[in-house]
Chains A and B, each alone.
Chain A
């Protein structure tokens, strides 16, 4: 059974940093691109970043470029999102997702339960 379990969320002040993790199991992690998708409270879904199966390629939405870094450790089957210079508009539930295609754009066939990040003073 595919499982994606996020951790690391919480309350953080504007301008500070936070790192999210996603532990994957039930599939060969190193064979799949992975992505983070977020959802602000009562809002829709917004793609944040994608990383290729081997970590050699990364893609970001414009609003997080230069502030967020997506990475992975295939030996640990874990996906990360390092978030720096956080803003109030980054407040959202962050979902770890598996990309079904090996391209820079994909649909997402499995989602974690989500982790809440609240940016507030």
Chain B
């Protein structure tokens, strides 16, 4: 199975700051046939089900604010949230879908100071 490692496990930020969440895969998620990275990001707010934010490593899902930016390629990926707002309090997960089983990172909990 492809292992997804997220860092940090938690972080506290003030509203308006920019935050970066890292995700590293145990093997490359870049498929040479289409040059796409098979990596998604989800947001799970307290008491809610996960919500898709980003797929193909950098494509925002419809309706997701443009302050959420996905980047990276191969084995190293980043989710950047610019100008963090109180509503962004959540746990963020990365997920690879390059191979079965699809696997998730352990999550990064975003807390506001």
Interface residues of A (CB under 8 A from B): 37, 44-47, 50, 59, 61, 95, 100-101, 103-114
Contacts and interface: CB of A to CB of B under 8 A. Distances in A.
B99 interface: yes
A76 to B, nearest CB: 22
Contacts of A45: 42, 50, 93, 95, 104, 107
Contacts of B38: 105
B49 A46 contact: no
Contacts of B98: 105
Nearest to A96: B49
Most buried by B among A45, A103, A104, A114: A45
Contact of B107 (A44, A47, A111): A44
A46 B106 CA distance: 10
Nearest to B56: A107
Interface residues of B, number: 22
Given A44-B93, A44-B107, A45-B95, A105 B55 contact: no
B8 to A, nearest CB: 15
B40 interface: yes
Interface in B34-80: 38, 40, 42, 49-52, 55, 61
Given A47-B102, A59-B100, A113 B49 contact: yes
B49 to A, nearest CB: 4
B49 A100 contact: no
B52 A109 contact: yes
Given A107-B40, A107-B97, A114 B49 contact: yes
Contacts of B104: 44-47
A44 B106 contact: yes
12 contacts: A44-B107, A45-B50, A45-B95, A46-B104, A47-B101, A47-B102, A61-B101, A105-B102, A107-B97, A109-B52, A110-B52, A112-B49
